[in-house]
Amino acid sequence: MQPNRPLYPFALIVAWMSALALGACSPSRPEIRSADASNPALVNTGKSIYDRLCASCHGTRLEGQPDWQSRKPDGKLPAPPHDATGHTWHHDDATLFDITRNGLAKYGGPDYRTDMPKFDSVLKDEEIWAVLAYIKSTWPAETAQHQASLNRPARP
């Protein structure tokens, strides 16, 4: 016969695991996973962030740097425009988010030289989506429609 052992440590573990399971199922604040240019609050937040962190290179009117398609003497490309004259709208939202958050190495290769920083440690994901929503809100309808057609439906 085994001596009676206190059940307290066991009960604590069961309670802790139950709390974790319930927390995983409980409702939380919805995560922003798109650059919704029709959301005025998101666009306004994005404009504020863009003005503070992006406009110095990409222009206050999203016009980019002059001669943005020709390499500078250091081999880097100037910052492209994010208005309809650039190529931003040629990419789906997920790609634009990934470039902003993680940088260009995945797309240009590990040796790709750029002045574009990664914003993963500077901006929350929701803030990146807000900046992208602001950029998209400035495009003409035809440009916005073309870019929207590139987005794949979100997976459940």
pLDDT in tens, 98-153: 999 999 989 988 888 999 999 999 999 999 999 999 999 999 999 999 999 999 77
Number of domains making up the chain: 1
Classify residue 48: in a domain, yes or no: yes
Classify residue 133: in a domain, yes or no: yes
Look up the CATH number of the domain holding residue 53.
1.10.760.10
10 pLDDT higher than 50: no
User: How much is the pTM?
Assistant: 0.77
**Would residue 109 be called left, alpha or beta, if left means φ above 0 and alpha means ψ between -120 and 50 degrees?**
left
81 pLDDT higher than 90: yes
At 19, the pLDDT band (50, 70, 90 cuts) reads very low
Distance separating alpha carbons of residues 67 and 47, to the nearest angstrom: 24
pLDDT value at position 22? 42
